[in-house]
Amino acid sequence: MSSKFLNNNYFNFNKEIILLFSLYVSLLISFLYGENSTGGAILDYNNQKIITSKFAIQFKDTFFNYDNFSTRHSPLLIIFLSFLERLNFNDEFIRILHVHLCLFLPFLFYKILKLKFENVDSKILILLTGLIFISPTFRSLSVWPDSRLLGLTFFSLSIFYFLKFNKNFHFKFAILNILTCALSSYISPNFAVFSLYFFFNYTKIFKLISKKTFIIIFINFIIAAPAIYYVLILDINFLNKSAATNFDKNDKIFFNNIFNDLIITFSIIFFYLIPFLKEKIIQITKILSFHNIFISIIMSIICIYFFNYRYEYSGGGIFFKISNYIFDNNLFFYIIGFISILVFLPTLLKNKENLFIFILILLNNPQYTIYHKYFDPFLLIIFFSLFNFEISLKEKKSKHFIFIYSYFLIFLIIGNLKYLWTT
């Protein structure tokens, strides 16, 4: 065999590819041991299995009484799983199949990165892609099927088509973006709000009154009609369910307290920004300007004054949990909340699109409970696709990712230890 053959690109396995393969193997190990680093993946799956079995036995009755079950997940994935059950596939096969279906998510993230950063070394993009594999949500919900992850996969595909459209303005990519965003919304309804972002971008290009805009509106209406009929006309409102423990039935589920949503969302975004800010991959300027400090103080005071998120409801993000678990109060969380607003606010004030995306992130989770897993790895994908950040990747080397990987690995380990400690 010649050295020329050995140097062929197909056989030139560099350390980044080996890393990805190792992360894939670790995912298979997670499957064997039933990783549950989010804490609630197994419980959610077991509860879902009850509905899956009912769909397999009594499809029509279950479909038209779906809101009687204690779940706010879309029935689409559950129906798919019930179909596999009817074909007599065992649970292990269904779950390992789901694990491999979820591999499309890191693949699509890599394709998004290649499209967005075409002049950046592929090795750096592979390292960014690998972060998906150490996401507690990705690992847990791959092993224990959940609609959130497949919804995110199709949402990522819609982002890919949106970025393709922005490259050449071919109308077919706008249509593909709409269709895949709709599919992601049917699987996980929270992604439906982002259709507004895509729509407003299309109206800027095609104008509000135009043939192509009319086609886009018409397609959106046709796609949304079955969901509207199912939820509003047939009144099968499965979305109106609480995931909180010890929840008071008299409390309002949707948009109970916008100030809770604001400061918790800021704190979770800050958590994901920290390693990229430290390595100067994402750069935010004017953090310490008088204007930014003043607005951040006012926002923090208002959010803290009206904050009433309860620890016993679960959720709240990592900083909220640390504050209550270690210090038994919200003081540490309030400090982090202020820093989070101070750091991220300049990005929102940078342009209207960033602010719009942030508002949609808030609308993405309108219910009272705010779980960290809803942002993971969703925010990572949003950071490097839709948000208008000042991103520096060209000069970066593998060594710049040592801290980033260590940071997220520690988060993953804490999630696993927390689950093992409480079981």
Residue 359 resides in a domain? yes
Instruction: Provide the domain limits for residue 59.
Output: 31-243+395-421
pLDDT confidence of residue 4: 47
Average pLDDT over residues 311-327: 88
Q: Do residues 116 and 382 make contact, with C-beta atoms less than 8 angstroms apart?
A: no
Q: Do residues 44 and 36 make contact, with C-beta atoms less than 8 angstroms apart?
A: no
CB-based contacts of 211, cutoff 8 Å, min separation 6: none
pLDDT confidence of residue 6: 44
Same domain for 160 and 74? yes
- Among candidate residues 370, 386, 413, the one where a domain is terminated: 370
Adjacent-strand bridge partners of 390: 283
Which of residues 103 and 12 earns the better pLDDT score?
Answer: 103
Share of the chain above pLDDT 70, in %: 92
Residue 152 resides in a domain? yes
Residue 275 resides in a domain? yes
Q: What is the pLDDT of residues 189-199, one digit of tens each?
A: 899 999 999 99
Place of tokens 């779980």: 371
Same domain for 360 and 272? yes
With bands split at pLDDT 50, 70 and 90, how would you rate the model's confidence at 297? very high
Residue 92 resides in a domain? yes
Adjacent-strand bridge partners of 254: 367
In degrees rounded to 5, what are phi and psi of residue 310?
-100, 135
Residue 227 resides in a domain? yes
Same domain for 169 and 123? yes
Same domain for 343 and 238? no
Same domain for 195 and 54? yes
Share of the chain above pLDDT 90, in %: 56
Q: What is the pLDDT of residues 11-50, one digit of tens each?
A: 444 777 888 889 999 999 999 988 888 888 898 888 888 8
Residue 372, classified by CB atoms within 10 Å of its CB into exposed (0-12), middle (13-18) or buried (19+), is buried
Same domain for 224 and 186? yes
Please state, in angstroms and rounded to a whole number, the distance separating the CA atoms of residues 101 and 250. Answer: 40
Same domain for 273 and 225? no
pLDDT confidence of residue 72: 77
**What are the b/e assignments for 134-158, b being 16+ CB within 10 Å?**
bbbbbbbbbbbbbbbbbbbbbbbbb
Nearest to 319, CA basis, from 276, 366, 271: 271
SS (H, E, C) 197-237: HHHHHHHHHHCCCCHHHHHHHHHHHHHHHHHHHHHHHCCCC
Q: Is the peptide bond before 189 cis (omega within 30 degrees of 0)?
A: no
pTM flag (> 0.95): no
With bands split at pLDDT 50, 70 and 90, how would you rate the model's confidence at 65? confident
- Among candidate residues 353, 370, 387, the one where a domain is terminated: 370
Same domain for 232 and 338? no
For residue 274 the two structure tokens come to 């920290």
Nearest 10 degrees: Cα torsion 236, 242, 247, 250 = -40
Helix residue ranges per DSSP H, 229-328: 258-278, 290-306, 318-326
Same domain for 183 and 47? yes
Same domain for 275 and 239? no
pLDDT confidence of residue 162: 97
Helix residue ranges per DSSP H, 87-208: 91-101, 104-116, 122-130, 136-143, 147-168, 171-187, 194-206
Residue 150 resides in a domain? yes
Say how many C-beta atoms besides its own lie within 10 A of residue 127's C-beta.
22
Residue 329 has pLDDT above 80, yes or no: yes
Same domain for 300 and 176? no
Residue 265 resides in a domain? yes
For residue 412 the two structure tokens come to 């993953």
Please state, in angstroms and rounded to a whole number, the distance separating the CA atoms of residues 407 and 318. Answer: 13
Which of residues 417 and 10 earns the better pLDDT score?
Answer: 417
Same domain for 179 and 271? no
Structural domain total, the chain: 2
Residue 11 resides in a domain? no
Please state, in angstroms and rounded to a whole number, the distance separating the CA atoms of residues 410 and 423. Answer: 20
Q: What is the pLDDT of residues 334-378, one digit of tens each?
A: 999 999 999 999 999 888 899 999 999 999 887 778 888 889 999
Please state, in angstroms and rounded to a whole number, the distance separating the CA atoms of residues 92 and 31. Answer: 9
pLDDT confidence of residue 229: 87
